Amino acid sequence: MALIETSITINASPEKIFAYVSSLDALKNEYVTAIEADGPIKLGTKINTTIKAAMGPVNVITSEVIAYEENKIFGTKTIAKPPASDVISTYILEAAGSGTKVTLQTEAMLTVPGMPSMPGMEDMMRNQMKAGYDAALAALKKKLEG
């Protein structure tokens, strides 16, 4: 598993940021057709997210809350169907002046087990994933500061 980490400072309180990233609303986008949790969001809660790709099948992604410390840390483990591997994503919130430093850490396999790997493949995957996470944090900043 590789660790991919990026961070941004958001001019909002840890309470406001935590309330959002630990909510089902944070999972909504144009591809999500349904979100269901098996109870209130807390350690151990399981979340099913139904996704419809633009030209693909409907998929249900199951995640479990594995880290939950109010206003400090929120993490989930997404359970993947083989040949994919599980992914752990964690938001860490730290006071930073009048704002909050938000660090997003993700642990993931960068290549599918059993598939041939080309030189540079893992670096390419790491860079693509980091770019996506940078964009996600920039969107979070815009949403919460706006």
Domain architecture of the chain: domains with CATH = 2-145 (3.30.530.20)
Q: What is the sign, positive or negative, of the torsion defined by CA atoms of 49, 36, 25, 3? A: negative
Q: What is the sign, positive or negative, of the torsion defined by CA atoms of 75, 45, 11, 126? A: positive
Choose among 12, 60, 5: nearest CA to 36: 60
pLDDT in tens, 35-78: 999 999 999 999 999 988 777 778 888 999 999 999 999 999 99
Cα(95)–Cα(15) distance, integer angstroms: 11
What average pLDDT score do residues 112-119 get? 70
Average pLDDT over all residues of the chain: 90
The most distant pair of C-alpha atoms in the chain lies apart, rounded to whole Å, by: 48
Q: Which two tokens stand for residue 25?
A: 């609303």
130, burial (CB in 10 Å: exposed 0-12, middle 13-18, buried 19+): middle
Cα(44)–Cα(76) distance, integer angstroms: 9
Confidence of residue 113 (pLDDT cuts 50, 70, 90): low
